[in-house]
Amino acid sequence: MNWDDARMLLALSREQTLRRAARLLRVDQATVGRRVAALEADLGSTLFLRTPAGYQLTAIGEVAVEMAQKMEHAALELARRTRGADNEEAGEVRIATTDSLAHEFVIPALRELRQSHPEVRVVLSGSSDIVNLSQRETDIAIRNQRPESPDLVLRKLASWQMGLFAAEDYLQRHGLPQDGSFAGHDLVVYEPYWRGQAQPTLVDVPIGEGRVVMAANASMLLRRAIHEGLGIGEIPLELGQRDGLRRVWPQRTRAQPYEVWMVTHQDLRHTARVRAVIERLVAAFA
């Protein structure tokens, strides 16, 4: 089994469909199916059962995946150590963050980086999906969740209180809600949180009496909806103030603040180009 075949095997075992595996590998779906079928023919063993629920590993397939994972670990370790030894302030650095943080902080930091380090090229991904630094999906991640892996180097960039905000236009049409009740008011919410809670709240107040008129899966969409007067929403105070929104119930905040963490792999933190990017990002949030 070569490394390309191992990548196909691992992707399909993790994603369980040809379409998702192809998207992960950035190839077309037919290529994944053809390569996996060829691998099974070469090994003389069935690695996957084709079921309505997707591709499921057979017993021998699980053994093959275990061996492929060892190949993956060795390849990633080689890449990390090679990249970590690079002292050139040039080359590519990949950053993964959310759309809001990219818009407000990361892109302005990159403008400064361009002036001081013109040979550094940044690949920026603005998505809410959690990336795996250990598998080199990115070099630097900026998230609102603190990872626990011992291989990662963490730095807290911000800790913001969460508050309620609305556009002046909305408040002129609907008035201020009575403190502690959303009765008669339209709400815009963060969709993953809203779907994942039995009793969703905004600033720790249950939203049951309000009307959810929009659920967004990205922070920029949520902020834009509030700005356009669709309803009341909960966002970090820092961002609400930047958007020129009016704060609702200023005495209320969510008990858990919105924390921003910068994360990189310990093998890359001393790489010159990565260090240069980190310094600019820290300055932008400061």
Structural domains of the chain sorted by starting position, each given as residue range(s) with its CATH number in brackets: 3-84 (1.10.10.10), 91-157+259-285 (3.40.190.10), 162-256 (3.40.190.10)
Confidence category of residue 261, pLDDT binned at 50, 70, 90 = very high
pLDDT digits 0-9 by tens, 166-213 = 999 999 999 999 999 999 999 999 998 888 788 999 999 999 999 999
Measured between alpha carbons, how far is 189 from 97 in angstroms, rounded to an integer? Answer: 20
Token code pair at residue 240: 């609400």
DSSP secondary-structure letter at 232?
B
Contact 21, 10 (CB under 8 A): no
Average pLDDT, rounded, for the chain: 89
- pLDDT confidence of residue 109: 96
User: Which is higher by pLDDT, 41 or 245?
Assistant: 245
**Which of 221, 219, 199 lies closest to 209 in space, CA to CA?**
199
Up-side HSE of residue 232: CA atoms within 13 Å toward CB?
28
Residue 87 has pLDDT above 80, yes or no: no
pLDDT digits 0-9 by tens, 143-166 = 888 877 777 888 999 999 999 999
